[in-house]
């Protein structure tokens, strides 16, 4: 799959490997895709696809839900393979009725190796969905199926047996474990240069700051992905709390879309500031 619209390198920037500079071209414009968006996910998601995924590409959305991401995307723009652990029958677009595959685990995808141009992943990213006691679990409504399928109610939050000597991940670590397993299978099914679009949000777990987007970026790069782009979605409304004694951390009112490319570069987002 070719890189769409914009190359991996800016005009006039010298490229690695001894390749000469790109020739500058184009026309002046302010009609650009920006890295920060105030509003809903669907508006930005359509722009991300337009920027990074060529029309006609085969795209698997493995956490389709009710298709909220796709509301601003033309129905025939891509070959969409929609699936979910528990596919919805209500609230999905009319043109997708009967086309959303159910019972598909995003960590064990039913696709052949190197068969997809793009994969979209938006699992639940609240640690409250991964607690062992149902009485203590967060999530309801559209997240109810994730509570049952992806929670720590199963052996280790993944439906896989715990090996002897291993402990089950819990709380935020269970969230990261889900992303890790899903990302590994995404790497398997994506073609070379395939695009992996991941939605996530940082959170405070056990009164400790957990930068989920950093964990996902470093984890995916360890698999061989290149972090090509990062987008921030800012809520247009203000969230509140029912009770507050003392605020310890800033309330999260933003989330991320991270765009990875299945293409290895000698570039890493993980660095060390320690003296040799």
121-146 pLDDT, tens digit per residue, is: 999 866 555 445 444 444 444 444 44
pLDDT in tens, 57-74: 999 999 999 999 999 999
Identify the bridge partners of residue 83 per DSSP, sorted by sequence position: 101
Structure tokens at 240: 């509140």
Listed in sequence order, the DSSP H helices in the chain are 41-52, 144-150, 172-189, 212-223
* Average pLDDT of span 168-177: 79
Q: What are phi and psi of 191, to 5 degrees?
A: -70, 160
Mean pLDDT over 169-196 rounds to 92
- Per-residue pLDDT band at 89 (split at 50, 70, 90): confident
3-state secondary structure of 216: helix
The span from the CA of 159 to the CA of 181, in Å, is 11
To which residue do tokens 């090509």 refer?
228
DSSP string, 85-99: TT--SSSS-GGGTT-
Q: Is the pLDDT of residue 6 over 50?
A: no
Superfamily (CATH) of domain 54-237: Vaccinia Virus protein VP39 (3.40.50.150)
Residue 2 has pLDDT above 50, yes or no: no
In the sheet that holds 36-38, the strands lie side by side as 36-38, 226-234, 254-261, 190-200, 116-121, 58-61, 79-84, 101-102
Question: 3-state class of 102 per DSSP?
Answer: strand
Angle (CA) 34-257-107 rounded to 5° is 160
**Would you call 18 helix, strand, or coil by DSSP?**
helix
Where do the structural domains in the chain lie, given as residue ranges? Answer: 54-237
Question: Taking 80 as the threshold, does the pLDDT of residue 236 lie above it?
Answer: yes
């Amino acid at each position: 799959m070719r890189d769409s619209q914009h190359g991996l390198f800016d005009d006039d920037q010298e490229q690695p490997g001894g390749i000469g500079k790109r020739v500058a071209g184009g026309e002046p414009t302010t009609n650009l895709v920006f890295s920060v968006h105030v509003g809903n996910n669907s508006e930005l998601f359509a722009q991300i696809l337009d920027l990074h995924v060529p029309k006609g590409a085969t795209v698997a959305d493995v956490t389709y839900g009710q298709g909220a991401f796709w509301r601003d995307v033309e129905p025939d723009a891509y070959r969409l393979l929609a699936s979910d652990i528990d596919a919805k029958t209500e609230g999905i677009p009319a043109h997708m009725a009967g086309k959303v595959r159910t019972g598909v685990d995003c960590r064990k995808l039913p696709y052949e190796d190197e068969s997809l141009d793009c994969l979209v992943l938006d699992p639940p990213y609240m640690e409250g969905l991964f607690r062992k006691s149902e009485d203590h679990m967060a999530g309801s409504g559209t997240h109810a199926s994730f509570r049952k399928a992806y929670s720590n109610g199963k052996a280790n939050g993944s439906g896989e047996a715990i090996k002897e000597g291993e402990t089950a991940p819990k709380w935020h670590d269970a969230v990261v474990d889900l992303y890790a397993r899903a990302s590994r299978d995404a790497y398997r099914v994506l073609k070379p240069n395939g695009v992996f679009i991941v939605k996530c949000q940082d959170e405070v777990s056990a009164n400790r700051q957990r930068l989920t987007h950093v964990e996902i970026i470093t984890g995916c790069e360890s698999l061989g992905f290149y972090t090509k782009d990062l987008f921030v979605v800012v809520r247009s409304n203000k969230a509140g709390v029912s009770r507050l004694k003392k605020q310890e951390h800033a309330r999260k009112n933003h989330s991320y879309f991270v765009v990875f490319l299945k293409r290895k570069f000698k570039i890493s987002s993980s660095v060390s500031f320690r003296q040799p």
